[in-house]
Structure 1
Amino acid sequence: MIHGHGDDAYLFTSAIKANFSTNIWYGAPLVGLKQHLFNSWDLIKSYPEASAESLRLELSIDLEVDVEQLIITNGATEAFYLIAQSFKGSKSCIVIPTFSEYEDACKLNEHEISFINWNELEEIKKFPDDLLWICNPNNPTGCILHKTALVNLLKINSDTTFILDEAYIDFTDDISSSIDLINDYKNLIIVKSLTKNFSIPGLRLGYLITNKTLVQKIEFYKAPWTVNSFAIEAGKYLLHHKNELLPSIKDYKSEKKKFTEKLSRISGLKIHNSKTPYFLVELEKSSAFELKKFLISEFGILIRDASNFRGLNSSFIRIATQSAKKNDLLIKALHKWSKLN
């Protein structure tokens, strides 16, 4: 982990009253999942399925794809490392600013890495790279790439394999998943997470979907038992109850709109546009490090210092919309900070 991540509450001894540093769905009702996992307790006495076969089968039915087009992974991050390993020594281009693990995985596997800014993505028609890494919707900006633009890029760059990270696809209604493109474009790999949208990041559960040839290539490097028994059972439970557990995008976006409107009235903050409930804020005074330290020590509030995203600087923080009550805690704290600066 070269660049580090958000949600680093474990580093602080003081209690965190509100955590804005993590961009997972905050409101999933998980009481039923908790009871299901308690009922599955005896599974820990045996090894888990080597490749999470039962979850893989149920997911294939849910997505209406061939089971041989899926690999279940220990969070989306395992998928990124497996892909980078299966293309060891390749040329990779990463669209920034974005999730740092793409770069970390590529460096570990001796890729020749280049970077382009998100706003250049549709301007460049032909990529000379073996792999192109895109987060859609993007983290941390909340920008989106529409399917028509993606299709154009896939067609023009048939020799480039596109890794499309859709970990946050359930956090927007401005685009939908590109899974329907998998069978038409052999140069597309989609990686998805079940941890952000269902609020289970501690269980580590994700998957990738692509054509059977690439699945075989990638699966060659996958160790057995990387997905534990509880994660497998949780995944099946979540698929069966997804309609009641997934966030209401309409309500989520409505709360985000109220939140950003209040934030925009605070002197010293520039709110960047986003298609998701998480977004960048640029500080016109002080630094992300200083603000983060102030909020933790004075209010027990944690934000994401976004200065370590490649392409950003010490003026950027990322905030994820929480409940109205917690959002108001941050608003009040930032008003105080603004007056002091």
Structure 2
Amino acid sequence: MKHGGFSWNKGEPPNVKDFSVNLNPLGVPKEIEELIKDAINLKVYRYYPQYNYKCLKENIGEIFDVNPSYIEIYNGVSEFLSLLTDEYSCPQPNYGEYPCYNKYTVKEEGNSYVYDLRGTKVITSNPVNPTGSLIDESEILEFLADKRELVLDESFMDLSDGKSFRNKIEEYPNLVVLSSFTKSLSIPGLRMGFSFSIKQKVRHIPWRVNSIANYVFSNANPKKIREFLNKSKEKVIEIRDNFEKMFPFKIYDTHAPFVLVEFPIPTKIINKFLIENGYYIREPEGFIGLRDTHARISLRDDVQDLVKVLNSLSPKTFKLKS
């Protein structure tokens, strides 16, 4: 299983409830859907997007209270990552697409993973994908104070009860914070990523974001987006708390819109049963430091339906402990 969710079939999205993809449980904001329709009606796809994305940067800056001059736009965070050189260390388990020459495994302590930052250049997610762990604030600040370089991917921070470090970029020129609207606004198909840093070191091509995405996010109301994200954080916490009460197996502490769990048997066996019933969860394949019994589950609004299906597993058939 690679990053990007369950496979398309003959040019169409998969007909399964895909709990391997971590999006906002509230879905796409109504305002964003209306702006997409407006963009189509105005035929903005017939025009090149603004060359320097000035309006887009200004709007993103207002949403996140960051100086627009510190913002760069990318065709998703993945584009930024593809432009980096392979000179970073990366703690594991972590997102598998980071360019790093040194991958080291962190400690698993009970129901959580404890992340430390090693080396002179580190790249990591925070909250960490796939564990949902938050890296301790003091660990990050000590690392930055030593003038070591940190690329911090906060793609899930806007749906987390954690604390963003984007307000630290002026204090620490050795810090780059990554973010996107992919997860927080449930629009992976529009590809909208951005970086916050006072030193933009990555070279990029022009027109890397299409006219529709440029129009939508240049015109989104910053106040409404902030309100939507605040409601989304509350919703994630609500779903997480309910999930913890229902799920019958091991659950790891999480600060993200997903949760790492562990079954008594390999997740591949669980998934065969789930796919037959129209569900899918993220297997541990590709994540260094996870066991074959681990799985990552998105905290969707209908996650209780998934739990019901899991609870219907036969202990005799799957040799589970009843």
Q: Give the TM-score normalised by structure 2.
A: 0.87
Write the deviation string for residues 271-297 of structure 1: whole angstroms up to 9, x where unpaired: 222122311111212x22221121011
Contact 1:194 1:205 in 2 (8 A): yes
Residue identity opposite 2:8 in structure 1: Y
Aligned to 1:226: 208
Q: Which residue of 1 aligns with 2:75?
A: 74
Q: Spell out the pairing of 1:98-117 with structure 2 (5 A cutoff).
A: 98-102=94-98, 106=99, 112-117=101-106
Residue aligning to 2:8: 10
Deviation, 1:11, is 5.2
Residue 327 of structure 1, aligned match among 296, 303, 311: 303
Once residues 65 and 36 of structure 1 are traced to their aligned partners in structure 2, the CA distance between those partners, rounded to angstroms, is 23
- Residue number in structure 1 paired with 2:66: 65
Describe how 1:178-257 pairs up with structure 2 within 5 A. 178-211=165-198, 214-215=199-200, 217-218=201-202, 221-240=203-222, 241-246=224-229, 247-257=231-241
Correspondences of 1:11-160 after superposition (within 5 Å) = 16-41=15-40, 42-82=43-83, 84=84, 88=85, 90=87, 92-102=88-98, 106=99, 112-117=101-106, 119=113, 121-122=115-116, 127-129=118-120, 131-156=121-146, 158=147, 160=148
Q: Which amino acid aligns with 1:38?
A: K
Amino acid at match of 1:257: D
Letter in 1 for 2:67: D
Q: Is the 8 A contact 2:63 2:225 kept in 1?
A: no
Deviates more, 1:235-244 or 1:20-29: 235-244
1:283-321 C-alpha deviation (Å, 9 max, x unpaired): 212x22221121011x10111112321111311110011
Aligned length: 307
Once residues 52 and 252 of structure 2 are traced to their aligned partners in structure 1, the CA distance between those partners, rounded to angstroms, is 41
The equivalent residue for 2:110 is: none
Cα distance change, pair 170–329 in 1 and its aligned pair in 2 (3 A): same
Structure 2, unaligned stretches of length 5 or more? 108-112
Give the C-alpha shift of residue 28 in structure 1: 2.9
- Contact 1:56-1:67 at 8 Å conserved across structures: yes
Q: Distance in 2 between the 1:52 and 1:179 partners?
A: 20
> Higher mean Cα deviation, 143-152 or 13-22?
13-22
Aligned to 1:171: 159
The corresponding residue for 1:261 is 245
More helix by share: 1
Question: Which residue is 1:295 aligned to?
Answer: 274
**Contact kept in structure 1, 2:25 and 2:232, CA below 8 Å:** no
User: Which stretch shifts more, 231-240 or 198-207?
Assistant: 231-240
Whole-angstrom distance in 1 between the partners of 2:178 and 2:295: 26
Report the TM-score, using the length of structure 1 for normalisation.
0.82
Unaligned 5+ segments in structure 1 are none
In the alignment, the residues of structure 1 paired with residue 8 and residue 61 of structure 2 have an alpha-carbon distance, to the nearest angstrom, of 36
CA contact (8 A) 1:307 1:317 kept: no
SS of the aligned residue for 1:40 comes to helix
1:162 matched to 2:150? The reply is yes
- Between the aligned partners of 1:57 and 1:94, the Cα distance in structure 2 is 32
Runs of 4+ in 1 over 6 A off after TM superposition: none
Give the % identical residues. Answer: 25
Deviations 1:228-256 (A, max 9, x none): 11111222344533034324323321221
CA distance 1:100–1:11, change in 2 (3 Å): farther
Deviation string, structure 1 residues 71-111 (Cα, Å, up to 9, x no partner)? 011111112222x1xxx353x10011111110xxx2xxxx6
